[in-house]
Structure 1
């Protein structure tokens, strides 16, 4: 018995000693450390920060009494009579925690204030003991009203808001002094778990917060602070829609938003962890590359007064690390990301997937198809044709890619089956849920809606020997307290045969060589590295693309559209708008700067995939072949934009790709004319560098597609085009 008494006295003495040694920290002593900072990939240069803590302190007298009482009913009904701690709550919490059960709070309002204002969020016995000691001292040092005021000014309400004044504005768009009893009860309820109780998170959250509000209001009735009749008359308040937080200004904000999304979806961190966790976040973004992306886009996208032109750019390494992204001109003015949310049709960019499908299914780069124009497809009222109606005769797969021969690709797709093209696109990295990605013959012309980040991923797979990676923005994360750390572990998956990928890369290299659809713009920008790519222009100029790579080194996709995605680039810019013009120029200028000082990557050795003999018969183009003319200041950079044409006995491409004129065995073309295909004799005229665009606050209304880490519904797929997309 005496031993128990001695142990009790020793324990009490120890507690007294700890109490005497515990000092109240300076308020906000750790505030700077709790700011989360985002860095470029060097881990030193600051990119942005989650530092704009939305807090506006108010005096307690400004908070209506019914709102104060709602918080007391929710969190600490004995606040004005206890000594800052709850003995029963502490015992319950310690006992449960020691037994390994679910973490217990057992916290009074004073304890919560101490934890949030003076201490860390650690859940340890030592931290809890320190919290208790400081709470007792705080209760003796400050009045209850002072403690309640500080508590209400610092508690987290979700939506990046701290303190009741900022919460009043983000949830109800009013000053705290104007809050009704229902609104006060709502705010007192949401602090318990903002992520669970915010109605913006859906009906389940709305139901949950109703239940919590009922608990709060019943508590007010029990405490005599509200009559039952008044409680019965309360209705659920009208809550403001959640608005996108405003991060950094300019293009940086789109990156910060993507980083935040990855912190939540991949690392499973809460908003409070991000906003107050003192995180040091190192991204994959390279400052030189990012600056180059901004310059390339904003120096080349024309400024128009009526319909704004929008561009998205994503550049990634073979492991999926995103080194640069351009989602828009200013996130604060328009938070719709043109690189990760907008999903215009992919256009001729999808021909690369058709080529993958062909090489995987018995064809080789020497396989030939009828490139005459037009071609009639079952189910379509109008025949489809090549750009400017040009006919090319019999062409092999390399030539088809170089010149972006629509009719030849359509005939390939009809023969091998469009399911092969769709499967290849999915294996490369296009989400199988992409609207419009169907087993339809025109899928090879890019009728599917596609995000720029997905196109970059898919082309990176081709460039990286057929190894697919998931795009990511975060390299590593560490907290200033040392209690949290994360390091990305990128993984790749071989989804396309290495030899197939090598042959596709070599075929796509022709696009960037003399005579290819991308060559004029790349030449004009002075880009000379070995590379591959593909231009893309959709029906009625609704979208324009250039996506390409330096093999196994860096892949970049540039996509452009006008207005809300339903407008025409041609109408907005006042001229024809091809992927081989502005998008290709942006790509080339960006790649020149991003790759400066890096080794020159070489094209892979050809895979020499063996295919079957040609399955189509050569049919010369008709005698009435249209003579193309160069009339636009922004022409299609391909053989179809010429000043003169000549006829020869067989179609001739560039020196690197010359199709044979020997006829195969079967006939698939509807054309029976005996005239020959035109041959380019002069290059297209150069384009003029446009001016910088003006900013806009009008968000696109087409498709809101989620971050790659959280796929969701994409836009409704458009119908197959009545005329074939240009290269």
Structure 2
């Protein structure tokens, strides 16, 4: 019997030996990685230098330049800083800061691993860039006041924080932090913040005041109680409650603490004069979502900020206002001028007031005023888009009942049957009210928004009187809309910043504003041609002094509480608004000397003077020829647009009208040489309705064209809902006739 052979050696043991070798190899790698990690950590720690604490406040000045990129306009600088010792800071104030920013400050090692992990996870998930949250890390971060948000920066921050925590006491770190951190209001350090918010030294701060200063650290640009009292109060409560939970504040003291009163923010003298409005506007844009810089970065980042403001144009704006207005003028009179390059959307000039330190509300971007007849071109554009030709005719009779309400022209003057060119030049209310009825008020409103009005513009509604300018836009909104006209239908969002370079000279921002074609070129050519007639023979005839093709529209609101001229050439669009604010904040009738101010008086003179200087040396460009889109409707126009003799006669016949060569020097000391607007906005009962009379959309006061014709003022117009709606607007009659349509 054969002897059994020995079984072959099992192969199952080989994989086990191989597995053990792999584990041993991996274990070696882990050990090696740990050794290398420790070595790398130790090397990085050893090679990281701790900056001198004084360097942490060595912020660089950010400089704002005119459009040429070489002429400084002003600076944003972190100059407001005074060092104090930790002993000068009341203990409750110290604890308020700890409660707000780092409650484990005296226990941690200068860094927060959990905070770093949380920030890293947030960043990887696409959230906002975040860093460590300890006071030591924030103190270190203050040295890197730039736009750099790299992971290397965060790594450097980590090691510097570790070293600082080892090399100096916690009290020293807290002292340096409190002396270098930014509190808003251009205040760096807690002593400067105490003065900026409360007008007192840090030693005299109360618990509530300390809690507010600690609260604003989270968002200095937005948690100032003068900007957001509710947000500030919520954050102060968080700080005070944190102090209670940490045993640093008793329940009784907490019950008596809360949001303290603050003093008004003060402004640096660099904001004095008209240029202060420019700097404030630039700063707002820097902090907007479009650019996204923080207050700290702006004040200490060393940026080169090139604006769109043209130095020559800006000087022209200031000089035009100063030269054209009489030296003696009532307190509360406001003038707003803004100019936009229609091809880029850049604001080339802005007059927001005489002195930002005296009134820090920008008349051009923050105030509102009834637009008057500067609104009428929107209805004209809507009509052209619907195929209603410039040759279409309408009755210029006055008064007319439209939508159940009486509408009258200035002086109740009646025209014959006139086309839209004549109606635009003379701003005939009855024609435009009838035109608005036909195209629909909704279409007029939509056209205004597409041109540049914000959709939430005060008073911008879908009622038939909107054509008379019942909306109250910001003056810059009117300029924006007319810049769209000047660009032949292309809308480009206005802005004031062209580019930004960081402290190292690297370009970090270049303006690329939203831009799109919103109206057909043929429609714009016709609308522009109609608005040229306002300058050539209508209420804005003084603008012929510009000596180059121009188009525009006058505007005067009811009771002459606002007066406008908005106009443009192919290269530049600008508007001038004037309005009077009473001591109680209400708008009042504008009077300079014994005369009422209308759109055809001071506003058009300021506009012309400004444009002449701003465009000096530039080529004379012409507008496209009219296309006469659509089809003419209505009966043929009458041979003359002169008002019916049965109505009030104008103060001057065409032969007596002022020539375009009239200069500002020929005006009287109390205003332009023209006849004051005649009041004709008598209250008239609505047909079929008993009770109190209503104001008509027709108008009182009005534009007085430099051609000698009287322009319509805006009356208070009754809206379709029966309530009073200002029905500003109107225009001055051109050489062809006398009184023009109501409000301009």
Which of 327, 341, 345 is equivalent to 2:366? 341
Secondary structure at the aligned position of 1:591 is classed as helix
Residue 516 (1) aligns with residue 542 (2): no
Residue 300 (1) aligns with residue 324 (2): yes
Residue 625 (1) aligns with residue 647 (2): yes
Distance 2:742 2:137 in 1: 66
Residue 422 (1) aligns with residue 448 (2): no
Secondary structure at the aligned position of 2:575 is classed as strand
Residue 448 (1) aligns with residue 471 (2): yes
Task: Find the counterpart in structure 1 of residue 662 from structure 2.
Answer: none
Task: Find the counterpart in structure 2 of residue 325 from structure 1.
Answer: 350
Secondary structure at the aligned position of 1:158 is classed as coil
Task: Find the counterpart in structure 2 of residue 42 from structure 1.
Answer: 68
Q: CA deviation at 1:171?
A: 3.8
Task: Find the counterpart in structure 1 of residue 243 from structure 2.
Answer: 216
Task: Find the counterpart in structure 1 of residue 4 from structure 2.
Answer: none
Distance 1:442 1:323 in 2: 33
Show CA shifts across 1:377-397 (max 9, x none): 4554xx543334443322211
Q: CA deviation at 1:72?
A: 3.9
Closer/same/farther in 2, CA of residues 435 and 363 from structure 1, 3 Å limit: same
Task: Find the counterpart in structure 2 of residue 500 from structure 1.
Answer: 523
Distance 1:417 1:617 in 2: 23
Residue 311 (1) aligns with residue 335 (2): yes
Give 1:424-573 correspondences, 5 Å limit.
424-481=447-504, 485-513=508-536, 515-519=537-541, 521-523=542-544, 526-551=545-570, 553-564=571-582, 566-573=586-593
Q: CA deviation at 1:139?
A: 5.3
Distance 1:184 1:148 in 2: 15
Closer/same/farther in 2, CA of residues 725 and 27 from structure 1, 3 Å limit: farther
CA contact (8 A) 1:29 1:118 kept: no
Closer/same/farther in 2, CA of residues 14 and 289 from structure 1, 3 Å limit: same
Distance 2:132 2:588 in 1: 61
Task: Find the counterpart in structure 2 of residue 358 from structure 1.
Answer: 383
Distance 2:488 2:399 in 1: 35
CA contact (8 A) 1:290 1:324 kept: yes
Closer/same/farther in 2, CA of residues 188 and 543 from structure 1, 3 Å limit: closer
Closer/same/farther in 2, CA of residues 26 and 615 from structure 1, 3 Å limit: farther
CA contact (8 A) 2:119 2:131 kept: no
Show CA shifts across 1:111-159 (max 9, x none): 4323314776744454344345544655566555443322211112234
Distance 1:308 1:685 in 2: 29
Distance 1:682 1:561 in 2: 20
Distance 2:445 2:115 in 1: 59
Show CA shifts across 1:137-192 (max 9, x none): 55566555443322211112234432112323444443322222233234334324
Which of 158, 163, 176 is equivalent to 1:150? 176
Task: Find the counterpart in structure 1 of residue 693 from structure 2.
Answer: none
Secondary structure at the aligned position of 2:579 is classed as strand
CA contact (8 A) 1:284 1:474 kept: yes
Task: Find the counterpart in structure 1 of residue 734 from structure 2.
Answer: none
Q: CA deviation at 1:557?
A: 0.9
CA contact (8 A) 1:435 1:717 kept: no
Task: Find the counterpart in structure 2 of residue 593 from structure 1.
Answer: 613
More divergent stretch after superposition (328-337 vs 129-138): 129-138
* TM-score under structure 2 length normalisation: 0.77
Task: Find the counterpart in structure 1 of residue 695 from structure 2.
Answer: none
Distance 1:104 1:444 in 2: 51
Show CA shifts across 1:205-241 (max 9, x none): 533442343223322x1xxx55x44555443232437
Secondary structure at the aligned position of 2:364 is classed as coil
Closer/same/farther in 2, CA of residues 468 and 681 from structure 1, 3 Å limit: closer
Secondary structure at the aligned position of 2:399 is classed as coil
Q: CA deviation at 1:453?
A: 1.0
Residue 235 (1) aligns with residue 251 (2): no
Distance 2:74 2:177 in 1: 29
Q: CA deviation at 1:601?
A: 1.0
Q: CA deviation at 1:442?
A: 2.5
Closer/same/farther in 2, CA of residues 115 and 437 from structure 1, 3 Å limit: closer
CA contact (8 A) 1:348 1:404 kept: yes
Distance 1:119 1:384 in 2: 62
Closer/same/farther in 2, CA of residues 718 and 267 from structure 1, 3 Å limit: farther
Distance 2:140 2:32 in 1: 32
Closer/same/farther in 2, CA of residues 188 and 300 from structure 1, 3 Å limit: same
Show CA shifts across 1:457-510 (max 9, x none): 111222212122211112122322578712122342222221111011111112
Q: CA deviation at 1:374?
A: 3.2
Give 1:679-694 correspondences, 5 Å limit.
683-684=707-708
Task: Find the counterpart in structure 1 of residue 719 from structure 2.
Answer: none
Residue 277 (1) aligns with residue 301 (2): yes
Give 1:367-378 correspondences, 5 Å limit.
367-377=392-402
Task: Find the counterpart in structure 2 of residue 286 from structure 1.
Answer: 310
Task: Find the counterpart in structure 2 of residue 179 from structure 1.
Answer: 205
Closer/same/farther in 2, CA of residues 280 and 718 from structure 1, 3 Å limit: farther
More divergent stretch after superposition (204-213 vs 245-254): 204-213
Distance 1:682 1:258 in 2: 34
Distance 2:338 2:398 in 1: 34
Show CA shifts across 1:399-434 (max 9, x none): 112222233323333444433332322222222322
| Structure 2 unpaired stretches of 5+ | 1-26, 657-666, 679-703, 711-722, 731-740
Q: CA deviation at 1:197?
A: 5.2
Q: CA deviation at 1:449?
A: 0.8
Task: Find the counterpart in structure 1 of residue 632 from structure 2.
Answer: 612
Distance 1:302 1:461 in 2: 33
Task: Find the counterpart in structure 2 of residue 166 from structure 1.
Answer: 192
Distance 1:251 1:577 in 2: 23
How many aligned positions are there?
645
Q: CA RMSD in A?
A: 3.8
Task: Find the counterpart in structure 2 of residue 578 from structure 1.
Answer: 598
Distance 2:565 2:146 in 1: 49
CA contact (8 A) 1:434 1:448 kept: yes
Residue 55 (1) aligns with residue 77 (2): no
Secondary structure at the aligned position of 1:391 is classed as coil
CA contact (8 A) 2:53 2:176 kept: no
| Structure 1 unpaired stretches of 5+ | 642-679, 687-715
Show CA shifts across 1:557-607 (max 9, x none): 111111257444443543121211211111111111111222211121211
Secondary structure at the aligned position of 2:595 is classed as coil
Q: CA deviation at 1:533?
A: 1.0
Give 1:630-649 correspondences, 5 Å limit.
634=671
